[in-house]
Amino acid sequence: MDRATLRQLQTPLRERYAADPAAAHTPLHATADFRDEGVTCTVDGFAGPVRAGLHRATGGDGSDACSGDMLLEALLACAGVTLRSVATAMGLALGEVQGVAESSFDARGTLGIDREVPVGIGPVTLTFTVATDADDAALERLASSTERYCVVGASLRDAPTVRVRRA
Q: What is the pLDDT of residues 17-64, one digit of tens each?
A: 999 999 999 999 999 999 999 999 999 999 999 999 999 999 999 999
| Cα–Cα dist 44/129, whole Å | 31
Threshold 0.85, pTM exceeds: yes
Q: What percent of the chain has pLDDT over 90?
A: 99
Q: Where are the domains of the chain?
A: 25-65, 66-159
- Report the chain's mean pLDDT, rounded to a whole number: 96
pLDDT in tens, 113-133: 999 999 999 999 999 999 999
pLDDT classification of 166: cutoffs 50, 70, 90 = very high
Whose CA is closest to 144, among 87, 73, 103?
A: 87
Q: For 83-109, what is the mean pLDDT?
A: 97
For residues 115-135, b (16+ Cβ closer than 10 Å) or e, as one string?
eeeeeebeebebebebeeebe
State the CATH architecture for 66-159. 2-Layer Sandwich (3.30)
| Cα–Cα dist 79/70, whole Å | 14
